[in-house]
């Protein structure tokens, strides 16, 4: 797939087919993502892919914590407020996705169901967790974002869907404990990955983008 087409047609997938992606393909996707740039070529990212029974066990743990009302304790705090223009874009997206599903995505009950869907990896056969050492600063978080983007683009080029999920970091301690990851590591992001269920209505929604002249300034 041509690079510009790949960037413009990638989208977040929220319903997957159960078919496993071959380990060789997942490895090739990670190999490609490793060519992402990083500060001083530090390459701070570490990757864990969980599948099968272990993925289901982890999903069960996360859903149990949610049902018990356990307060989220992500390694990176959730954003609590947004500038007005950004908040407007977020609200518009939530309204349009909610209208497609026939629900109010801002209601507490639906939010809880949405989190549970996240914790079930949206039915994807694999979950990816990105870590790096917690002593690293914001530049390494930026690098992890570059790696995640490269990973998702590489997957898309293989016809495989992904969705980046902040909610999968809600219970960072329990995730690290289950996966055998040192507490000194920072859980940066979770990503569900698998073959997209293109027949599901949720995957027909495409987010819009701000007009370029609203985010670009020329100084000559």
- What is the CATH code for 3-78+120-206? 3.40.109.10
Report the percentage of the chain scoring pLDDT > 70.
Answer: 100
- Return the CA Rg of the chain: 18
- Sequence-distant (6+) residues with CB within 8 A of 40 are none
pLDDT surpassing 90 at residue 110: no
pLDDT surpassing 90 at residue 107: no
Helix axes 108-119, 52-67, angle to 10 degrees: 160
pLDDT surpassing 90 at residue 106: no
- pLDDT of amino acid 82: 94
3-class SS letters over the chain = CCHHHHHHHCCECCCECCCCCCHHHHHHHHHHHCCCCCHHHCCCCEEEEEEHHHHHHHHHHHHHHHHCCCCCCCCCCCCCCCCHHHHHHHHHHHHHHHHHHCCCCCCHHHHHHHHHHHHCHHHCCEEEEEEEECCCCHHHHHHHHHHHHHHHHHHHHCCCEEEEECHHHCCHHHHHHHHCCCCCEEEEEEEEEECECCCCHHHHCCCCCCCHHHCCCCCC
State the pLDDT confidence band at 103, using cuts at 50, 70 and 90.
confident
Greatest Cα-to-Cα distance within the chain, rounded to the nearest angstrom = 58
Distance (Å, whole) CA 194 – CA 163: 10
Task: Give the CA distances from residue 21 to residues 54, 63, 107, 194, in Å, rounded to whole numbers and listed in that order.
Answer: 16, 24, 35, 6
- pLDDT of amino acid 99: 85
- pLDDT of amino acid 126: 98
**What is the domain partition of the chain in residue ranges?**
3-78+120-206
- pLDDT of amino acid 109: 87
pLDDT surpassing 90 at residue 149: yes
Residue 168: count of CB within 10 angstroms of its CB: 26
Q: Which of 66-70, 80-84, 88-92, 98-102 shows the lowest per-residue confidence on average (mean pLDDT)?
A: 98-102
Question: Scanning the structure block, which residue is given the tokens 């490269």?
Answer: 150
Q: What is the mean pLDDT of residues 141-148?
A: 98
- pLDDT of amino acid 111: 85
- pLDDT of amino acid 97: 85
Burial annotation 70-81 (CB, 10 A radius, 16+ → b, else e):
eeeebbeeeeee
Model pLDDT for residues 163-211, shown as the tens digit of each residue: 999 999 999 999 999 999 999 999 999 999 999 999 998 998 889 999 9
Model pLDDT for residues 14-55, shown as the tens digit of each residue: 999 999 999 999 999 999 999 999 999 999 999 999 999 999
Mean of all residue pLDDT scores within the chain: 95
- pLDDT of amino acid 101: 80
- pLDDT of amino acid 108: 84
């Amino acid at each position: 797939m041509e690079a510009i087409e790949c960037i413009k047609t990638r989208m977040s997938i929220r319903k997957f087919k159960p078919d496993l992606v071959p380990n060789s393909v997942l490895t090739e996707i990670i190999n490609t993502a490793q060519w992402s740039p990083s500060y001083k070529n530090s390459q701070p990212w570490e990757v864990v892919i969980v599948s099968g029974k272990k993925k289901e066990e982890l999903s069960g743990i996360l859903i149990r914590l949610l049902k018990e009302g356990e307060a989220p304790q992500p390694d990176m705090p959730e954003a609590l407020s947004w500038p007005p223009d950004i908040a407007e874009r977020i609200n518009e997206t939530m309204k349009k996705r909610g209208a497609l599903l026939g629900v109010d995505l801002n209601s507490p009950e639906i939010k809880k169901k949405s989190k549970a869907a996240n914790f079930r990896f949206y039915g994807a056969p694999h979950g990816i967790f990105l870590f790096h050492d917690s002593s690293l600063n914001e530049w390494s978080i930026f690098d992890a974002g570059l790696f995640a983007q490269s990973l998702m683009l590489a997957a898309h080029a293989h016809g495989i869907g992904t969705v980046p999920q902040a909610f999968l970091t809600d219970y960072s301690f329990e995730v690290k404990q289950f996966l055998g990851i040192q507490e000194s590591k920072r859980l940066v992001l979770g990503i569900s990955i698998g073959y997209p269920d293109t027949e599901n209505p949720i995957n027909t929604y495409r987010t819009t983008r701000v007009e370029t002249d609203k985010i670009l300034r020329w100084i000559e």
